[in-house]
Amino acid sequence: MQRNVDALTDETFDLCIIGGGITGAGAALDAASRGWRVALIDKGDFASGTSSVSSKLVHGGLRYLEHGHFGLVREALIERGRLLRNAPHLVEPLPFLLPFYVGQRVAPWKWRLGLALYDFLAGTENIARSRPLSVSRLHAISPTLQQTDLLGGVQYFDARMDDARLCLAVIRTAAKHGAVVTNYVEAIGFDKVNETLTTLHAHDKLQAKALAIRARTFLNATGPWADALTRLAGDQAGPLLQPTKGAHLIAPDRGHRFAHLLLHPRDHRVFFVIPWNNRTLIGTTDTHIDANTGPDNLAVTADDTAYLLDAYNQFFSPGLETTDILGSFVGLRPLIRSKSGEPSDLTREFRLQRAASGLFTSLGGKYTTYRHMAETIIDGIGKSLGKRRRCKTAELRLAGTPIDDDWQTFLARTVLQFETEFAIAPDTSRHLIQRYGTDALAVVQRATQLTAGLQRVHPDEPDLLGERVWQAEEEMAIHADDFLLRRSRIGMVRKVDFSP
């Protein structure tokens, strides 16, 4: 995947997408796989907003059942199954523990009923049925879990992902289908003919170059920046979004073999404790932001940290101190504006809106359902353009996914190949294969051409120095953060020089 800014001005596209997060990426792949001419731009790096700072879960949303969002949960569970097949190197099953305690907001019988419904809604896409756990069994599985007032619990399954790399895989797949994709290109204005958008004026931030991108229609897929882009297009419908902030903490590995779904003792909100990259991920907050806080100036505050540490320490011993935290990250959920006063009550559902100018805007949604959202978006835009080809992405394997082998067979065979041919340790081999899938061999071969290419970036991390060259040449990584926070995740927990 090469960065070719000149290709943005060579033709009139069927669709120009502004926003290279998972929504824009999904729409680009869906449209390109139908044979459309597609351009996708982002003012920063791909997935540099919300799509790299999620809870790293592909899940149905068990807690949404409490609000009666059965259709949303059913859709998410179906899409979870598709992602497990279409990107098994980036999405993997994850067992969860849900402990029951005396006096909690949700009674055990409600959780059990909800999980029975969760299994039912998943249908043939269910990973495994939920099962009850006694207090003694819970203690055996999770020995550091608080035992006081523990009534037992349930084990169930969802899935864990690498969000930034999944977004990148979707974009790379779109590029293989002919989409022109470019990061660090910022939308700065539109031309109109008869009040309809015809041309996007953009700025190439790397070459300080003005661009005029012509398209039959435009999609605003900028997530938390959606209101700003609608104003840029001259649409004055008022704020469409009511974003909420989600912060996460990264702690050292606490020995959790299972993820945990828990209720915060302060406000009874759901939060997760997740084993992730040999560390422990704790999150998330769900709070409104003030009018002066936009998506470009978010930060994890002392209050966010205290809130998440209080939650963790209520349920696990030994507890964590602020000084134990290795890193943190924060993002905004681009939720549809409503009259609800509680952030957790805002809908996670999705809406496609068309303005008088012809600008389509994607609002709301959740990461797990990005593919179905993209199908809906392109179906809607296709009607306006008179393009009737059907969606092809339900079974479309993403870049890096084995075609002829099942995932476990491919993983085992390639780990052995890397050990015998390149003397690469098994943990580094698995890391490479789970990051790049079928491209891992090409990454290793490129690394062998470099001095110290097969050496680790840090002795305690599996990342190789040679990866950065592949990421620059094939994944459009430009700046240090592109390498450290999205192509790899090592910058979240280590201070290293991983720039080209």
**CATH code for position 363:** 3.50.50.60
Tell me, yes or no, whether 44 lies in a domain.
yes
Q: For residues 180 and 267, give the distance between their C-alpha atoms in angstroms, rounded to a whole number.
A: 46
Question: Does 255 share its domain with 313?
Answer: yes
Q: For residues 334 and 49, give the distance between their C-alpha atoms in angstroms, rounded to a whole number.
A: 11
Question: Does 269 share its domain with 308?
Answer: yes
List Cβ neighbours of 450 (8 Å cut-off, separation of 6 or more).
Answer: 465, 466, 469
The residues facing 218 across adjacent strands are 16
* pLDDT above 60 for 498: no
Nearest to 274 by CA among 290, 264, 262: 262
Q: How many domains, in total, are found in the chain?
A: 3
The 10s digit of each residue's pLDDT in 244-271 is 999 999 999 999 999 999 999 999 999 9
Tell me, yes or no, whether 150 lies in a domain.
no
The residue to which tokens 């590995």 are assigned: 253
Tell me, yes or no, whether 341 lies in a domain.
no
Tell me, yes or no, whether 352 lies in a domain.
yes
Question: Does 351 share its domain with 237?
Answer: yes
pLDDT score of 495:
85
Q: For residues 39 and 178, give the distance between their C-alpha atoms in angstroms, rounded to a whole number.
A: 9
Q: For residues 120 and 73, give the distance between their C-alpha atoms in angstroms, rounded to a whole number.
A: 11
**CATH code for position 266:** 3.30.9.10
Helix (H) or strand (E) holding 40: strand 38-42
Do the strands 209-220 and 12-18 form a parallel or antiparallel pair, or are they unpaired?
parallel
Question: Does 257 share its domain with 377?
Answer: no
Question: Does 250 share its domain with 302?
Answer: yes
Tell me, yes or no, whether 113 lies in a domain.
no
Question: Does 327 share its domain with 352?
Answer: no
Tell me, yes or no, whether 444 lies in a domain.
yes
Query: What's the angle, vertex CA 1, arms to CA 390 and CA 208, rounded to 5?
Result: 110
Do the Cβ atoms of 180 and 4 come closer than 8 Å? yes
Mean residue pLDDT of the chain comes to: 94
**Stretch 332-355: mean pLDDT:** 75
Of 333, 357, 376, which marks where a domain is finished? 333
pLDDT score of 405:
87
Do the Cβ atoms of 271 and 283 come closer than 8 Å? yes
Q: For residues 345 and 396, give the distance between their C-alpha atoms in angstroms, rounded to a whole number.
A: 34
* pLDDT above 90 for 236: no
Question: Does 225 share its domain with 352?
Answer: yes
Question: Does 304 share its domain with 449?
Answer: no
Alpha helices in 64-214, H assignment, sequence order: 70-86, 108-122, 135-141, 163-176
Tell me, yes or no, whether 31 lies in a domain.
yes
Determine whether 495 is exposed, middle or buried from the number of CB atoms within 10 Å of its CB (0-12, 13-18, 19+).
exposed
The residues facing 185 across adjacent strands are 204
Question: Does 198 share its domain with 267?
Answer: no
The residues facing 330 across adjacent strands are 247
364: region left, alpha or beta (phi > 0 left; psi from -120 to 50 alpha): left
Of 300, 333, 366, which marks where a domain is finished? 333
Question: Does 274 share its domain with 221?
Answer: no
Nearest to 204 by CA among 49, 37, 10, 41: 41
The 10s digit of each residue's pLDDT in 124-170 is 999 999 999 999 999 999 999 999 999 999 999 999 999 999 999 99
Phi (first) and psi of residue 407, to 5 degrees? -60, -45
Question: Does 303 share its domain with 426?
Answer: no
The 10s digit of each residue's pLDDT in 386-426 is 998 999 999 999 999 999 889 999 999 999 999 999 999 99
* pLDDT above 60 for 19: yes
Residues of the domain holding 258: 244-333
Question: Does 302 share its domain with 178?
Answer: no
Confidence label for 216 from pLDDT (cuts 50, 70 and 90): very high
Q: Quote the pTM value.
A: 0.96
Tell me, yes or no, whether 43 lies in a domain.
yes
pLDDT score of 16:
98
